[in-house]
Every structure is written in structure tokens, then in C-alpha cells.
Amino acid sequence: MSNSKPRIIALLPMKANSVRVKGKNFREFCGKPLFRWILDTLLSVDDIDEIIINTDARDILAENGLVDGGKIRIRDRKPDICGDLVSMNLVLADDIAAVPADIYLMTHTTNPLMSAETIRKALAAYQAKLANDEADSLFTVDKIQTRFYRADGSAVNHDPDNLIRTQDLEPWFEENSNLYLFTAESFARTQARIGKKPMMYEGPRIESIDIDDQEDWEFAVIATHYLQNQKAGVQ
């Protein structure tokens, strides 16, 4: 990567179908379609040069007022990479082959609460590590310190006969699917968003809600109202 400003491309894949929450990408969420929340956040990050939406739902996007233009490029998803069982990495590989960049940023429409500030901080942290060859990719995580058990009731990460405070347990880190940063080179080595030498990035827990099912949706609505009230100074 040169000393000039890196070309940063955001990848925001979006499909028409959703198994657990029907049509969730386009469903009204707290005043606007779900996809608009993260899209508007990405548009507010000046470092992002272009946003690529790989989709099989161009017509639905148009019905919701979204067409090509400005920083947004809509790419029609190829038939052989459509479907609920297709690996997301195949979709990303198609975008990477078509749109050159120094850094790729990938996120989901189902992460409506991630803030522009978190994106900017993650980009800065990643670029610093990348410049020093200390990491080839970044993914966001939630730190968890709690007691885990197997299905048979046996302890996983603690000794039931010698209980210690949960805050003293070894922290575990859960990939939260909020944000991924990588280069074409790191993707080529693993054929995945996470490279051979990844760094983990812990953002605000409230931003990491990922809407997979109806319960997630309802929780995200509550969290959104809470954050809006906080911003407005409502107690």
C-alpha cells in the first residue's frame, strides 16, 4: 500500500430473501428500511470511497429509493452465487475481483447500530497494524467473561469446585459479524474475510447487535430507542 490515501471500498451484500425474518433487509425498522441504517452510516464515513451492494434485489432497492449514484454502486448478484446456502465468501470474492481496492470493509444490513465513530476507529487501528505488518485483517468481537457449560452440564472454562469471580475468568472473544477489514492479498490467502494474521477489535457492546431472528429484531428496536433518547438527552 502506498503512502497516498488508500482506496477503501465498503462491501454491503444484500439479498431479497431471509429465512428467519422474512424480508428483513427492507422491513421498516425504527422509521426507515433496515438496510438504510448501516448504509447511511457508511455514507457518513469520508474515508470510504465507494459502497458496493451485491444483490439479487435491485428492483426492491429501487422501490425503496435506492439506485446507483454517488458513492453507491449496485452489482447484480450472479445466479450461481445466489441462494441461502451460498457462502458469503463467494459473494465477496466476486466483488473483490470486480472492484480493486487497497482495503475492503465488509459489514451487514443486520448491524443497524454500528456507529461511524466505531468504523473510523477500527480503520485507524487496522491501518496502523497493516503498515507495520502486524496484522493482515481485522474483525470485531465481543469480550465475554462468564461461566460456560456443555450440554451434559460439565464445566467448560471454570472449576465448579473452585469458583472465582467471573471478572477474573480468562476472557473469551466472540466474533460478532459487525465489521471486517482486509486486503485482496489477505483474502486470497484464506479465501475468507479473516486472514492468516488477524487482529480482533472490540467495539461498544450495544452496537454489536446482529439481527438474525425476531427476538434480535425486537431487542435491536429497544436498543435503538435507548440510543436515540441518550442522544436527545432524554432520561
- Contact between 140 and 210 under an 8 Å Cβ cutoff? The reply is no
| HSE value, Cβ hemisphere, 13 Å, CA-based, for 203 | 26
Based on its alpha-carbon atoms, the radius of gyration of the chain, rounded to whole angstroms, reads 19
The confidence score (pLDDT) of residue 17 equals 78
| Within a domain: 75 | yes
d(CA 170, CA 224): 31
- Looking at the chain, the whole-number percentage of residues with pLDDT higher than 90 is 90
d(CA 121, CA 116): 9
| Within a domain: 168 | no
Is pLDDT at 1 greater than 70 in this prediction?
no
Of all helices (H) and strands (E), which one includes residue 230? helix 214-232
| Within a domain: 198 | yes
Q: How many domains does the chain have?
A: 1
- Looking at the chain, the whole-number percentage of residues with pLDDT higher than 70 is 97
- What's the pLDDT tens digit per position in 79-96? 999 888 889 999 999 999
Amino acid at 34: L
| Within a domain: 165 | no
* 3-class state of residue 190 by DSSP: helix
Q: Report pTM.
A: 0.93
| Within a domain: 53 | yes
Is pLDDT at 2 greater than 60 in this prediction?
no
Cell of 2: 502506498
| Within a domain: 166 | no
Expressed as residue numbers, the domain containing 185 is 8-141+174-232
Is pLDDT at 98 greater than 60 in this prediction?
yes
d(CA 178, CA 124): 16
CATH code of the domain containing 45: 3.90.550.10
- 129 — pLDDT class (breaks 50, 70, 90): very high
- What's the pLDDT tens digit per position in 101-118? 999 999 999 999 999 999
- What's the pLDDT tens digit per position in 12-71? 999 987 766 778 999 999 999 999 999 999 999 999 999 999 999 999 999 999 999 999
